[in-house]
Amino acid sequence: MSEERLPDDARAEHADSLPDYAERVLKVTELIPPGRVMTYGDVAEWLGEGGPRQVGRVMALYGGAVPWWRVVRADGVLLPGHELEALDRYRAEGTPLREAGRAAGGHLPRLDLRRARWDGAACAEGHT
């Protein structure tokens, strides 16, 4: 995916600067409390701009410096390629998990989104 698919203000004018949209996504990520998660779509909805794919792109490019494991897929499946690291972090933070069924490849648990999802209500005042 190219930067043209990100919202207009996410296109960097200078290669060494962080796009405004990316900066806002990363700030939301830093607000998510330990043990809680938001989906990519939740973050986009919170910002009122972009969508899950744009948030995912930001996280892929710039998310290493923030608690990336707290921004997740809507199906609760652990991020492919980062499952074990994320799982260690979820367990350390007490993030609610659902045990994997026997049919699940690798028998990795999923996130229990019903219990782990954070709506940002505690930070709702003055967000943008």
Q: What is the DSSP letter of 77?
A: P
CATH for the stretch 20-100+109-116: 1.10.10.10
For the chain, percent of residues with pLDDT exceeding 70: 77
Q: 125 falls in which pLDDT band (50, 70, 90)?
A: low
pLDDT digits (tens, 9 = 90+) for 9-54: 554 444 467 899 999 999 999 999 999 999 999 999 999 999 999 9
User: 65: how many CB neighbours lie within 10 A of its CB?
Assistant: 9
Q: Look up the pTM and report it.
A: 0.80
Question: Rounded to whole angstroms, how far apart are CA atoms 88 and 97?
Answer: 12
Question: Rounded to whole angstroms, how far apart are CA atoms 78 and 108?
Answer: 8
